[in-house]
Amino acid sequence: MRVTSVFNLVYLVGACEASVASQLSPSSWLRWLHVGGSQHVLGGDDTPTTPFAQFDSLQTARGFVSFGDSYSAGIGTGVDGKEQDCRLGNHAYPQLIYEDLSVGQDPNTTVDFQWLSCTGATTEELLAGGKSSQIDTFNTTLAADFATLSMGGNDLGFFDVMNACIFRFYNFYSGTCESALEKAEAAIASTDFEHRLRVAMLQILDRVQWEKKPRFAITVTGYARFFNDDTPECDDYSMGVWWQGPKLKREMRQRTSNLVIAVNKKLRATVDSVNALFAQPRAFFVDFDAEFDGHRFCEPGVKEPDYQREDTWFFLVGGADSGQNGTMPNGTFPNATSSAPSGHIQTETLSPLSTLVDPERCLEPARRRGDWGQLAICYMAMAKKRDPTLRPAHDGVLAANSMWYVPTYYGKTFHPRSLGHEVVRDKIYEIWRQHGL
């Protein structure tokens, strides 16, 4: 990292403003983007029909890079029978953008796409010089005309809130919902995350030598509220993994909604603070939360957990993806007469006897990794060891023994399903169009 150029960036902007202003135009790099919400298809005349197809300068888009956490990794989406440590999903919005961009290119042109997003990532993994830094891994010799970035949920304690308030993977040892909410609220109120994210965004711009790349900008995506927090009937339902788990009380749902709103506000403020350093915008914030209205948990008339509802755009524990023929991760179908996933072959409830996890040694590496699925499995095994009489709720939350998808089975919960990622992609295109198309 060239530290001096990052922290002297504001001075460079002042010196170069006149020449940069003559080059920087959002429309110069944005106008080849989206005009509609459809996925790419091939037309009858063999002319590519993509969200980019009506823009003359499509051929000038050579590639992009995706930074971030599990939201841009697309955990659980478009599963095809394999998984790696970052839990990249085949239907994540960065992948969808890449596919659209590739279809619109000349057949002899290669589109560069470096997908650095990783489930469990925090700003520590993003920042240059940090542990497993995504920015240090960014290959700047590849063509990159823009970047996408999702970050915040892991820094600000979303998993701890989900665990203590909703799932209680570690049974009553998970801590209180109130303490988890207060901790997350305090983290959001602090300026630490905002400062780290701002530095990271400036580091990305420094790595691509922004002075020489007038088209390059960063698109920062936010988060969506998980619950409809008005429905009174949801107060009596539970998503807890153990029998008699916590109820989805309205106050809890409202406070988690407020957390998401506050995080989005902080992300938008960070984008604004970065843009204040430049003559033209170098970052855009995409707030897709409103697009999820009607597609959250606890919608009117829905008894949670409802594994059959295609219109819910978030994953349940072990639930099927949406828009992917309704199949479970191993190709089986949920039981239509049950609210719980079923149909797995050679399954077992997690216990100290499971070969998947050692309850005596799993916690430290799971915390270090930050993967929601690994943390959930570890906590469940620890709970079962401490209390062998525990029994799963909802007819049993099962994970196939030693199967590749087990961490994703748990970790994907409360992340967007494939239909949700398509909406995020379309909202990104809409924001791009608003800024100069």
CATH number at residue 353: 3.40.50.1110
Task: For residue range 81-139, list pLDDT tens digits in order.
Answer: 566 789 999 999 999 999 988 886 666 778 899 999 999 999 999 999 977 899 999 99
Strands 218-221 and 63-68: unpaired
405 lies in some domain: yes
Lowest model confidence (mean pLDDT) among 39-53, 207-221, 270-284: 39-53
Q: Which residues contact 356 (CB under 8 A, 6 or more apart)?
A: 350, 377, 381, 399, 401, 402, 406
Lowest model confidence (mean pLDDT) among 46-60, 347-361, 391-405: 46-60
219 lies in some domain: yes
Classify the C-alpha dihedral 118-122-128-132 as positive or negative: negative
Q: What number of other Cβ atoms are within 10 A of residue 54's Cβ?
A: 15
Classify the C-alpha dihedral 45-48-54-57 as positive or negative: negative
Residue 184 lies in domain: 25-434
Number of domains in the chain: 1
The pLDDT value recorded for residue 339 is: 34
Strands (E), 202-325: 218-221, 283-286
Classify the C-alpha dihedral 121-125-131-135 as positive or negative: positive
For residue 235, give the DSSP letter.
Answer: G
| Phi, then psi, of 411 in degrees rounded to 5 | -70, -25
Q: What number of other Cβ atoms are within 10 A of residue 8's Cβ?
A: 13
11 lies in some domain: no
Better pLDDT: 341 or 377 = 377
Q: Is the pLDDT of residue 71 over 90?
A: yes
Q: Is the pLDDT of residue 285 over 60?
A: yes
247 lies in some domain: yes
pTM: 0.80
Q: Is the pLDDT of residue 27 over 70?
A: no
Highest mean pLDDT among 15-19, 41-45, 109-113, 355-359: 109-113
106 lies in some domain: yes
414 lies in some domain: yes
Q: Are 178 and 194 in contact (CB under 8 A)?
A: no
The pLDDT value recorded for residue 246 is: 95
Looking at every residue in the chain, the average pLDDT score rounds to 78
Integer Cα distance of 321 and 182 in angstroms: 32
The pLDDT value recorded for residue 52 is: 47
Q: Are 221 and 72 in contact (CB under 8 A)?
A: yes
Tokens matching residue 69: 């956490």
Three-state DSSP state, 348: strand
Lowest model confidence (mean pLDDT) among 11-25, 294-308, 403-417: 11-25
Beta bridge partner(s), residue 65: 114, 147
What separation in angstroms does the CA of 20 have from each of 24, 59, 105, 134?
6, 23, 28, 27
Q: Is the pLDDT of residue 344 over 50?
A: no
Span 165-176, mean pLDDT?
A: 91
CA 249 to chain CA centroid, nearest Å: 25
Q: What number of other Cβ atoms are within 10 A of residue 242's Cβ?
A: 23
Integer Cα distance of 359 and 338 in angstroms: 30
Better pLDDT: 103 or 292 = 292
The pLDDT value recorded for residue 60 is: 58
The pLDDT value recorded for residue 276 is: 97
The pLDDT value recorded for residue 232 is: 95
58 lies in some domain: yes
Q: DSSP characters for 137-174?
A: H--TTS--SEEEEE--TTTTTHHHHHIIIII-TTGGGG
The pLDDT value recorded for residue 45 is: 37
Considering the chain, what percentage of its residues have pLDDT values greater than 70? Answer: 73
Better pLDDT: 118 or 348 = 118
71 lies in some domain: yes
